[in-house]
Structure formats: structure tokens, C-alpha cells
Structure 1
Amino acid sequence: MTSRLCESEVVVVAPTGTAAKTAGGLTYHSFFGFERGYDATGLDPAVEAARLLRTPRSGPVKTRLRLTRVVLLDEISLVRADKLDVMYELMVQTRAASSPPVVWFLFGDFLQLMPVVGAIAFRARCWPAMVGGSFLELAILHRQDEPDMVQAVHDVRVGIYSQAVRAVMGERQVEGASYLAVRDNVLHLMPRVQDVNAHNYSCLDRLAYEDQPRSAVAKDSSRLDPHRDPSLGIDKDVGVSAAPLRAALVDCVAPPCFRHALHARVMLLDNRRRVIGLCHGSVGTTTLYLPCGTPVVRFHDTTLPRGVNVQGLGVHDAGETWVEVECPAVDFTARIFSKPGMLAVRSQLPFVLGWAATVHMAQSLVLSEVVLDLAKAFGAGMVLSAVSRVSKKRNLYVKSFCSSRVYADPLALEMYRTWDRL
């Protein structure tokens, strides 16, 4: 696309920071100007797009949308139908009638993970106009090349607990001493956040003999939204009590209190350093604390890009294959629905512990090795997404698994069965 068009006319977007980094693009939230926690549930997409384009923050958004000729959207299975409708309307409403239509390329597999809430993307109102009822099937599997692993991934994808799946999961099961060997140094993938937190803190506790865990207590406050809808007529702070503040921040990715320590494995929660290859989901290790208490985190397999101005990004040191960055507290924001025009603000460290992650967080990543703890898998495609993260069977470790958790979404299966293949 960029060989035919100007680079500014082609945009690559994805639903998560990790997926955007893998695809070499932006999150669609960033590109389309969706604020953190944006929800389009139940809204008319045309009316909502018009509202967004009237807000003060829409100026740069409208400029880049007008320039866009091609959108490549990755991990389409994670995109909610209502948000896809709003994105489509934003593109339509920012373009002159004489402008050529935007071309959309949607990549992904609807048999992998779907949105946690909301309808799957092909249920969007705009889908017939964007895509119709046909698709191009990319049938060659590139990540795995071992025949038994390829067969196991294929069978899990369509919800079949086959002999191939049974053999791989049984062969790679770890327990006792074999599990202890990977417990603290291989990333665990788990379905539920509470299990991720439990494993992370158990690993942290085993570091306590080296360095006493430190506690980072968040500071919660409120402020006027600089990008508020001007029709609200709000031009000064409105008092916000503790209850709505807590309600607005209940789903904040940054916790109210966070324990960490030297040599702790941590995972970034923001995209402020995306220009140097670090994004939400990047995993590193705390190497030291500055006199002011700010932690410094080393990220491996990251190289500072040539010619990139790193001033203001907190780069502390760098080597050929790693970079260390200072990670002071940053502001996480959320809308306060009972106080339109106001934001809840949580000032907290921009990372969480990273010995384990949810399966949703890992979709789109290629991992060198992984421990699967999947007995409590709860969604269609979850086992597929977890099992297919590694290239080689020897780098897969199975701590727990339940065969009844292997199933595929029936709507997605029907779609692949009935739609035309290009």
C-alpha cells in the first residue's frame, strides 16, 4: 500500500497495545481519538460520530482521517461491533463527497478470542458495506511447523479435543519439580485476572529475601476534561465526592495500591514510550530505584531506534539489545458518568507485576516460551489463543488443562462455513 500511496494515507491499527506493536501501528483508540474507557454501547453510530467530531479534541483526528485512504485493522476478532460502526462513521463523515472511499483490510481469526463484552465485529451495521459476505482465507500456518503441533492447533481452532490435542497437552504437562523449574522464570498465561494477581504476588513474595517489597499508593483526584463536549456548558471544576470517584476508577488498569521490589518482573500499562518500542504489555525487570524512589525498568529485546529523540521518555541507559527507562507515576483517567465533563484521575506507577498475564493480553504475541494454566478457561477460542503463542512444542509447559474448555464460537463457525471464499 505504501509503495502506491503516500505513507500518511495508509494506517495500521489494532485493538490493544501489544497487537499494535506486533503489527507496527497504533491502537485504533489512539488513531480515532477514543478516550480511555470509551463505550459506544447502545448509541447510534452516525449520531455518536457526529458528536465526537464536535469535541475540541477532534481537530487532529479529523485531519488524519481526511488524509487516510487505506485502513489495515488487525486482530478483528477483538473489535466490538459498536466501535467498528463508530470508526466507519467517523471516516464517512470526515470525507468530502468527491473523495474516494476508504479501503478497509480487516485481519484476524474470529475463532480466536472475541470481545469480553459486546457483539462480534461481523455483527456491525457497517459490515455489509465494508466487507460483504466473503473473505480471503490465509491457509498457511507460519508460526508452527511441527506436524503434531500444527494438527493440535488446527483441531483446537474448530473446537475439537482430538488425539493430537490430547497428545500435545499430555506430553507438555509439568508438575512437581518440573513445574518448579519454570514457575518463576517463564510467563504464565491464565484466563482470570484474580489468578494472574495471585501468581504474580506469590512470585514477588519469593523475592522478599533480596529486597523488601515497596508499596506505591495511588493518588486519586478529579479534574475538568480538557476535551469535554462544549455543549455541556461547563467551564470550571465541579466538586466530585469519593463514591463516584471510586466508581469511575473501579476498572482502572492501575491498582490503588501496588507492591513491587527490586528484580521484580513487571508489565507496562501505557503507550507513552511507543516511539522506542515499548507499549502496554511490554515486560521488563526492575533494576534499581532512584534516590527519589522512582523505579528503573530494563526491557530486553528492545533497541533504541536511530534518530529518535528520546528526550522526555525517561531513558536511563541502553545496550545493544536492551533499554532501561525511568517509570515515575503517571495519570490514568476515566470518565465520571454522574458528572459529565469531569474526569477521575489516578496517579500511579505505569506497570503491574508481570510473571503472569491473561490470555486476552497475550493475543497477537509470539512468545519464546510459556506456561499454560487453563483449567478455568471460560471463553470460546481461549485455549486456541493460548496454545498457539509459541512456535515450538518444547517451549510449551502445561500446568493445568481441562478438555471441556476446548470449544469454538458457533456463530464464527457458521460464518466460515457459509461465507464465500475469495
Structure 2
Amino acid sequence: MKQKIITALTKDVGLKILAFIFAFLLWLVVVNIDDPTQTRTFTSVVTVTNGDVLKSAGKLYEIKDGINTVSFRVTAKRSIIEKLSPSDFSAVADMNNLENEERIPVTIAAKSYANYITISSKQNYLYVVLEDEKTQRFVVSAQTTGTVEEGLAVDTVTSSPTVLTVTGPEDVVSSISSVVATANISGVTSNFTESVIPKFYTERGDEVDAKELTLSVSTISVSVSFLNTKAVDVVVKTSGTLPDGLTLDSIKTDPSSVMIIGETSALNDVTSVTIPESVINLSDLTGSFITTVDISSYLPTGVTLADSSSAKVTITVLMAGETASTFDVTADNIEFRNVPEGMAVTLNSSDVKVNVFGSEAELDALKTKDVKGYVDCSGIAVGESQNAVLQFENIEGVTIQNTSVTVNVTEDDSKTSHATEDN
């Protein structure tokens, strides 16, 4: 029996070996037809490592043209390659390997199926642009936006911190002129603190893109406190009595009322802002006139003006039957009298606006060319932008108020040379 088995195994050995080889080759053909080798291109985002190498040298980098990806070819069986995605690969650029200060070799490695795939040997690079780094400290300007609620006024606006340290590309940091932290006060009725992201502006007011900047803090705390407000009338007191022949018509102020701010207890005690009688002495008047006073010093203790621009109040005093108007007097209609020898005087503007009083009919009939004035230059000295009094001789039925003008006084070379020649 044993001999029969041996005979069966050894009979036609060559044919049997040939059949085995043929079967193996057929298996290979079938396998490759069913799961062939394929090559595909993948694109991955590059991760930069050891960026601090540049920072320690006072440099920053920016990826050139914003392209931070690389493409590469991978070869593997179809059953493998169909399972792969870009997340199965790592693309790393080590800043220690920076070449020519412009490119970094990218190392590509497989995270999955590493033993079953082949990555093309072509060297990929990440291209960068180097920039000088700059650090600068800026004072934070705390501001508000929005509409303050009625009956309130912003008292103080502060920031914490008050100084912000900014680090980034030198050209970007150098373009910054101001750092602003703005809190929105719309709908707010009590003191509050808000965390806001600071904004950066150039000298021209253009906003600076902060994406490349590193800040000492990411947000700024802006604290806003409010005070109560109250509208009060401006009252004018007078002293003395009008000379014979004059009858007072009205005394008006512009503005007629102002907004004041302060604690509630202080505001409750204030009913008006009074301009004292020492300002308007009726005994000194010769007719209607207009004057401007600063009411800041007349405010009661504990209150201030909500708007500092309203501190200047214009007082118009009109006599009976008169009205007020303004005329522009040209420089040609202004005469300089008693100019010292060897000096020249010129007006520091092309015209002067003056107050004119009279009946409506008289003012309507008055022509600009008829309004002429003069400056008495006695005792004047050489110098730029000097104040002088522009005076007018009254036209019948019309009063023109004297006003202050600015003049320039220089040495008159022509007169000096003539005097030398005469000698």
C-alpha cells in the first residue's frame, strides 16, 4: 500500500510541478485583476514646527502667498488606497531646516498602512517670507459708542490695562498710531464694565488688520460711569440804569439754556445758571451790543457742563425799536491810522464780521460798502498776530459795534530806504 502511494506521487512529477506553477500564476493574475496597484495624489496641510527658532532671532515668518499645503503621489493596492484620505498623512516643515531664508523641506509620512503604501520621493517645500519682529507699547484710548439714555451723561471712561504691548511684523506694528477700546452705551442706565477686543488704527484713521499681531492681553476691560443731567436756563442780571434816551427792549442769551451734570443731590439745588450783574452795567451802554462770556466760573459747586462747548454764551442787548444783524467788512474798507514811521500794518484776514444794530428798515437799506472802520495804530510794535480794536463811526440810525481784530506789524523797508536816501 505504501509503495502504491509513493508511486502515485512520483509518477509524472514534471507535469505536476508545471501544473502547480501554472495554478500559482493564474492565482496572481486573478488577484491583480481583482485588486490592482493604483497611484493617487493627495493634498495635506503643512504643520510648521520649531517656529521659535526664528522668534529668538527677532524674526517672524509668513507663508508665501498663503499656500500652506503640499501635494504628493501615493501608490498602493486598490483595496488600501481607497481607504486613504489626506488625514492619513502628516506633512511637517521643521523650521530648523530652513533653506536660503525662503523654503523649508516638507517631510511626508503615512499614519496608516505605512507598510503597504509607497509615497513618491519627490521633495516638497513650504515657501515662507521672513520679516523683522517689533514690539511696542501703546496707550489704550477708552471710548464709547451708541446713544446715552435720556437724563444721563457719560462721566468717565477708563480702561484696564491702560497700556497694551503689541508684537508683530515691523511694518504692521510701525503703522499703528492708536489703540482704541470701545464700549457700547446704548440702552445702559447704570455704571458698567465691558470686555472688548481692541482695535488698531493708522494715523489716517484706517483700521489695521490684527491677525498677525500678538497682544499682551486679548481683551480690554472698559469701565463707564454716568452722572445725572438737568437742563437749566441761563439768566442775566444787570446793574446800573440806562442813560437818558435809551430804552431797553430785551436781553437774550445764546444758548438760552444749558445741560449740567452732577450728583442728584447737587442738581436738585440748581434752578439756573446766573451771569452776575457785574458783567452788564446798563449805565455804561450807548446802544445795543453783543458780547460773549464764559459761564464756567458761574456754575454752582458740584455741577459741570455736560458739553464744554456750551460754556461760551452770547448775550445780545437790544434797545427798543432795534434789531441786530451782521455785516462782513472787507479789508479794503478798513483804514490804519497813526501808523508809526517805518512800520507797515496789515489785517490778518480778508474780512471781518461785525454786529450792526438799527431798525429793520435802516438795516435793509444799509450797504456793505458803507460800513467802514479804522484801527488806531498809535504805540503799536512790530510783531505777528497782534490784537487791535476795530472802531466805526456810527451811521445815522445805525450802531456798529467795535470789535477785536488781528493785525500783523512789520518794518516798512521802502520807507526806511527812502529815509536813508534823503540823508
Q: Which has the higher helix share?
A: 1
TM range (shorter): under 0.3
The structure number with the bigger radius of gyration is 2
So what's the TM-score if we normalise by structure 1? 0.18
So what's the TM-score if we normalise by structure 2? 0.18
Q: Which has the higher strand share?
A: 2
